[in-house]
Amino acid sequence: MQVPDVVTPFSRAGGFYAKAWRRYVFRSRGDVPVARPTAALAGHALLDEAMLAAFRLVHTEDESVWPRLDRETAAAVALYAERGWLDAPESYHRTPPAPSSAEVTLRDVRGARFRYERLSFDSGYEPHLGEPGRDRWLGYEANRRARAWVLRHDEPRPWLVCIHGARMGRPTIDLAIFRARWLHEELGLNVVFPVQPLHGPRKRDVPAGTTYPGPDVMDNVHGAAQAAWDVRRVLAWIRSEDPSARIGLSGVSLGGYAAALVASLDGDLACAILGVPCVDLVELMTHHARVPWRGAQREILERAWQIGRVVAPLAMTPAIPLERRFIYAGVADRLVHPRHQVVRLWEHWGRPEIQWYRGGHVLFSRSEPVGRFVREALTRSLRPRELVVEAAT
């Protein structure tokens, strides 16, 4: 059993605080704003580092899988190159059909704080024939059922699809982190919260150590592809229910990654709002790795960079106009590096509106500037109050 490392989060947060002071004193220039270091800012960094340490604690290195990863990544590079997916990543993604009414199950749930509907249907996602890791991925039985939490009004309203981050996928967490009551009651939106692959109830009975994202290269590819597929099926379900509905997309952290993918494949979205977004899984995993990758591991990493193009928002062109793209991020984020992840997306997306807030990754939902930014983006893109007034008159 691993012993928790209680020292590293403090030392890493202290290192961040020292660097922040140097940047502030010398007025360092860059795309990430320089914030005056405070005890509160250091606290945000420490909380992020503690969360990162917890993630590392549950991810143990299993050297026995390296030969399999070597075989699978080599086969995947050859297959993806042969089929042209590395040069045209969008072509890797198939357009999912809307789930039929016979496929869909909706059940009312009355929780302690929320009343919502539990939506489920067969995902229908399958890796391409011949893809490495296909049979293993299809063997995750609980993951083959797509699930979502739904809050909707009786009359037509705009919709917002909210995609949660890593280690979420539970209604009590998802609805709270996105401030569901505010979105549904005050802004008057219909809101749906899809559960990402291998999260929440979709992780039930999978082999120990199986996670998305995680150290398994092909599981990460299939997880990202299925996340985009499932969200697009939810979008198709909404459009079948209300063909004229305006639909926005909001994702946080790993959900920002999924939202960026979907925004590269669906041009009919009213907006895409990405919060503290991860947009490069391979970079994220290597940045937080305990030890450097060497020898055969390095070769696997090089192939992972190539394979990852098929699910990389940075390798695709956003399908929605610039004025519908929004990003917010924390200057003290220790999980998703502001420059390595957020700034790269911001540049790739044509420098859309971005809100930098004084904080880290974990506590973004408590930031008042973030709340104002999201409200303005939703009001401008979905115009929810117009429909509320129309319904009343």
Give pLDDT tens digits for 105-139: 999 998 767 789 999 999 999 999 999 999 999 99
Q: Render 75-112 in DSSP notation, one character per residue.
A: HHHHHHHHTTTTT-GGGGSPPPPPPPTTT-EEEEEE-S
Domain ranges of the chain: 65-392
Query: Which residue type occupies 337?
Result: H
Residue 197 is predicted with a pLDDT of 98
Strand partners, 146: 121
Q: Half-sphere exposure of residue 238, counting CA atoms within 13 Å on the CB side?
A: 30
Checking if the pLDDT of 1 tops 50, the result is no
**Vertex 159, ends 155 and 162: CA angle to 5°?**
140
Give the DSSP per-residue string, 320-355. S-GGGEEEEEETT-SSS-IIIIIIHHHHHTTS-EEE
Query: For 130-220, where are the E strands, in sequence order?
Result: 145-151, 159-163, 190-194
Strands 145-151 and 190-194: antiparallel
Tokens of 302: 């090089």
Distance CA 224, CA 280 (A): 11
Q: In what order do the strands lie in the sheet with 105-110?
A: 105-110, 115-122, 145-151, 190-194, 159-163, 247-252, 271-275, 325-330, 353-357
The yes-or-no verdict on residue 43 having pLDDT over 50 is yes
Q: Which residues of 187-224 are buried (b: 16+ CB within 10 A; e: fewer)?
A: bbbbbbbbbbbbbbebbeebeeeebbbbbbbbbbbbbb
Residue partners of 78: CB distance under 8 A and separation at least 6: none
C-alpha separations of 256 from 18, 99, 196, 271 in Å: 29, 24, 12, 13
How much is the average pLDDT of 333-347?
A: 89
CA distance 288 to 278: 13
Residue 38, token pair as written in the block: 């405070």
Positive or negative torsion for Cα 71, 72, 75, 76: negative
**CA pair distance 344, 336, nearest whole angstrom:** 12
- pLDDT 10s digits, 52-63: 555 554 455 666
pTM of the model: 0.87
Residue 69: pLDDT above 80?
Answer: yes
User: Checking DSSP bridges between strand 115-122 and strand 145-151, what pairing results, if any?
Assistant: antiparallel
Contact 157, 384 (CB under 8 A): yes
Q: Which CATH fold would you assign to the domain 65-392?
A: Rossmann fold (3.40.50)
Position 194 scores a pLDDT of 98
Percent of the chain topping pLDDT 90: 64
Whether the per-residue pLDDT at 187 is higher than 90: the answer is yes
Sorting pLDDT into bands at 50, 70 and 90, what band is 103? Answer: very high
Tokens 């995750």 correspond to 140
Asked if omega into 213 is within 30° of 0 (cis), the reply is: yes
Which amino acid is residue 71, in one-letter code?
A: R
For 200-259, write each residue's pLDDT tens digit. 999 998 998 899 998 899 999 999 999 999 999 999 999 999 999 999 999 999 999 999
